[in-house]
Every structure is written in C-alpha cells, then in structure tokens.
Amino acid sequence: MKILIIFLTLALFSCSSSTLQRKDSTQYDKGSINQFGKSDFDRMADYEIRENIESLKILMIKFYKKNPNQLKKSTSDNAEKMTNWVFNGNHNWKFKRINNAQGVDALNQVFDDNFEGDRVLSLITGLYTMLIKAHGDKKEFYIFDSLDPQKIYNSSRNFEIIVWKLSSKKNNKGQPYLISNEISSSQANLSFEREFGKIIGRTDYFAFTLSEKTERAVTRAIQSFTTGIFLPF
C-alpha cells in the first residue's frame, strides 16, 4: 500500500489540464468489479499506463495544433476529434495513411524525408504501440500478470530518443520534421518537453519499483542519442 501511495503522490505533481475528459474517476474503487484480482501494485501499473496514455492524447492534440498541415493529411476534423478517434476507434492501431506501421517502424518514418503521410499520427502510433508492447500488450493488470522491468525501462529511454530527434533532426530543407518546443528571445514554450518528461518520469519510477518487487535487475543503458537507435522493448 505504501508503494501505491508514494506513486500516486508523485504523479499528482505531474498532472495537467487536458481538453479530453478523463474517464477514470471510479476505476480505483476497490469494491468495483474490475478491481477483483488486483493487488496494490497492479493498481499502480494501471495508473502508470493510463496516465501515460492520457499524456499521449495531450501531445497528439498539441502536435496537430502546431502542425496543422499534418492533420489535413488525415482528416478535415479538428485535432480533438481526430485524437478521440485515434484512441477510441475500432482500427487496432493500423492506419493506411502511415503504411499500417507500428512501434519502431512508425517512429522511424516520422524522420524520413520520403514519407508523405501524417507524421503526427505516425509518431503517436509508434509511441503508443511501443508503450503497450513494453507492458506485455496490456492496459490493465492483475495478480498473475508478469511484466519485464527492462522492457519498460527501455521504452522510457526510447521516449528520450524521440525528444532528442524532435529537437535536433531536420528535413532536407533544414526544417524540423514536426514543430514542438519554441524558444525565442521573448519567450520559451517547453510544454511538449514537459509532457514527455512526465511520461519518462512515470515510466522510470514504475520500472525501478517493478525491478525491486520482482528482484529482476534493470541494466541501465549507456547510449548516444546521436545514433538514434531505439532500444528493444
């Protein structure tokens, strides 16, 4: 119980407002049916994955608003409607506009000059499917579920690689593939970096807590972001 309380307390500091309404107000009622067969640690896992998914929704809306040309490649709807459809639609996270790519394939084509599809959709699809795969292809956890802390840790490092690529990689015209953070002489907008930081912080905390619980050591990666090589998950 102490672990869950600590985790939830830390996560509160990373909470932010979203235009998408959260649907989790009763998910942690221990008397509800979906809480049978769950330990406090399972509830921590549920919380971590759910909050990270919420952060991805926020990021998708923000990216579309900064990069409206990408949204137009997929729909005439606004960013909120597109995001709701992506996260709630019946498509199994396979989209023809991004070559049905998932995971690393979807992430890599975001930074490919020859890719003509929706780079925001490809980015969020890659991050979401990577995150889910690292969690054993699950979004809800029970006592007998087994998670690998190394895969979760690796996914966190991959988020860091994406943050580096977004800020440093340029297309053949010398422009960023996607506009995110903006720093000028008058102001600095680092909201994208902060939201990514929340995901990385939650995922790292859960990976190391899981490592202690399962007594499975996590090998810390020593890597150069400049290689742009994603870790296995």
Q: What is the pLDDT of residues 102-132, one digit of tens each?
A: 999 999 999 999 999 999 999 999 999 999 9
Domain for residue 218, yes or no?
Answer: yes
Domain housing 160 = 39-227
- Indicate whether 19 pLDDT > 50: no
Domain for residue 121, yes or no?
Answer: yes
Q: Per mean pLDDT, which of 11-15, 81-85, 137-141, 180-184 is the most reliable? A: 81-85
CA distance 207 to 203: 6
Domain for residue 212, yes or no?
Answer: yes
Query: Which is more confident, 73 or 27?
Result: 73
Domain for residue 111, yes or no?
Answer: yes
- Indicate whether 36 pLDDT > 80: no
Domain for residue 63, yes or no?
Answer: yes
pTM score above 0.75: yes
In 3D, which of 164, 166, 165, 158 has the Cα closest to residue 204?
158
Gyration radius from the chain CA atoms? 18
- Indicate whether 184 pLDDT > 80: no
Q: How many domains does the chain have?
A: 1
Q: In percent, how much of the chain has pLDDT > 70?
A: 78
Domain for residue 124, yes or no?
Answer: yes
